[in-house]
Amino acid sequence: MLNPMVELIVVNGIPQAELVRSVLEGNGIPCQVISSGTASSFGFTVGPMSDVPIYVAEKHLAVAQEILDQLFSAEEETIADDDNLTDALNITEDSDSE
């Protein structure tokens, strides 16, 4: 019996799609990245023309969502750490003018 593919996430551009694909496949979840070619052909990086949907088998959906939750929460923590470092070093936009 075939397991239908379902949309897991829509990401912005081919580089982010390849990152997600790499993480999923590294965790044993096969996926399909479906690109119209517009994003890569014309270099669109914002807006609906850069949208790239990623599909997984329905049976892998819950685990794939957990993996992405971990991936994106780790990215948010990294951004927060960068902000904390900036605060700790008292770096402001005006620092360059001194």
Architecture of domain 5-89 in this structure? 2-Layer Sandwich (3.30)
pLDDT, residue 39, reads 58
**Inter-residue contact 52 to 33 (CB < 8 Å):** yes
| Residue-level pLDDT at 97 | 47
Instruction: Report the pLDDT value the prediction gives residue 9, as an integer from 0 to 100.
Output: 95
Q: In the numeric block, which tokens belong to residue 91? A: 């770096």
- Reference 60, options 19, 27, 33; nearest CA is 27
Instruction: Please give the pLDDT value at position 91.
Output: 46
- Which helix (H) or strand (E) segment holds residue 29: the answer is none
pLDDT, tens digit (0-9, with 9 covering 90-100), for 34-66: 876 665 666 656 677 788 899 999 999 999 999
Residue 98 has pLDDT above 70, yes or no: no
Q: Kindly report the number of other CB atoms within 10 A of residue 34's CB atom.
A: 14
C-alpha 97/C-alpha 31 separation (Å) is 49
Does residue 84 carry a pLDDT above 70? no
